[in-house]
Structure 1
Amino acid sequence: MNKQDKFREEVKKVRRLVCIVFVSMMSVAGVLVYVMIDPELSFFRVFIPREKVYETNATVQEDDYDKIENGIHVRTGLVEAEGLMTVVNNCTNCHSAKLITQNRMTKERWVTTIRWMQETQNLWDLGANEDIIIDYLVQNYPPRKKGRRQGLGNINWYKLK
């Protein structure tokens, strides 16, 4: 390998390093911008105290933090009912309330899911709150009678040749 080839290899290495640094910086900047836009993310709430959320997002008011509109808790989208704040305080510390609204289950399945979270995800012992949480979930997020579409029926199957 001559001097010119060695020089080209060194230039390629420097270019790669510059690209890696640039992409890393843009990733960090993107996360910071995202946090400023939507500081309510449960992952970032661990790192950002509630008071700081309101400093970074002037549109959110302290009075609006647990506001209810039309029977819906605005911040989480959960239904207003007995046990709402117990669910908000225990469940949305680790994950989005969307997981609750998407996963409609029976009492047995909610209990199984909580046990799974306790065994594999380090969910703490809910104590007396467990019954309150399960009652709220069963009452407001039971299984639906139909899924996205009904199962296929009366199908005349045939063999491909």
Structure 2
Amino acid sequence: MGNDFQKQVQAFSKILLSFLVIILVLFGGLFYWANHKSKPNIVEIPLEESTEDYDKIENGIHVATGFIADTGMQVTIQNCTACHSAKLVTQNRMSREGWKATIKWMQETQNLWDLGANEELILTYLAKNYAPTDKGRRQNLEDIEWYELK
């Protein structure tokens, strides 16, 4: 009986070894396939050179930044857009004091440099072109031919 048991253990060992070899071959094949699939054909499309002039003004607006064209615009662009988007300026409306307080806050907390003589020019530009606007009810509609929906 001991001899039969050894034969059974040997047969089982051969089956187990065969099974492990098959598993290793399958996993090796999957690994190879996953890492050697054909790569997608990526073609780099060159960007077209912009013929747009950076300093172009259309309808009184600096095209590249959206700033209102006026005295002090270039200095304001140079000092403001070095750190943040022009949109951050153009979407705000403040009095001269509000702009001055904002500049002071940026100098104290955001590492904005001393603007020197340019500060007066920037404040004048911002206070003139980005001052608070009165918002209220729209004008009444006049000379309208009304009709009834049926």
> Could you state the TM-score of these two structures normalised by the residue count of structure 1?
0.54
Q: 1:66 to 1:57 in 2, by over 3 A?
A: farther
| One-letter amino acid of the structure 2 residue matched with residue 80 of structure 1 | A
1:131 aligned to which of 113, 116, 120: 120
Q: Secondary structure at the match of 2:88?
A: helix
Q: Secondary structure at the match of 2:119?
A: helix
Could you tell me which residue of structure 2 aligns to residue 69 of structure 1? 58
Partner of 2:89: 100
Q: Larger C-alpha radius of gyration, 1 or 2?
A: 2
What CA distance in whole angstroms lies between the structure 1 residues aligned with 2:118 and 2:47?
32
Over 6 Å off, 4+ runs: none
Distance apart, 1:59 and its partner CA: 4.5
1:101-122 superposed Cα distances (whole Å, 9 cap, x missing partner): 1110001110000000000000
1:84 corresponds to 2:73? yes
- How far the C-alpha of 1:58 sits from its partner, in A, is 2.4
* 1:60 and 2:64 matched: no
**By percentage of residues, which structure has more helix?**
1
Amino acid at match of 1:132: L
Alignment root-mean-square deviation, CA: 2.1
Q: Distance in 2 between matches of 1:131 and 1:79?
A: 17
The residue type paired with residue 65 of structure 1 is: Y
Deviations 1:50-95 (A, max 9, x none): xxxxxx752523x611111111101000000000100011001111
Q: Give TM-score, length-normalised by structure 2.
A: 0.57
* Unmatched runs of 5 consecutive residues or more in structure 2: 1-45, 138-150
Number of residues paired by the alignment? 93
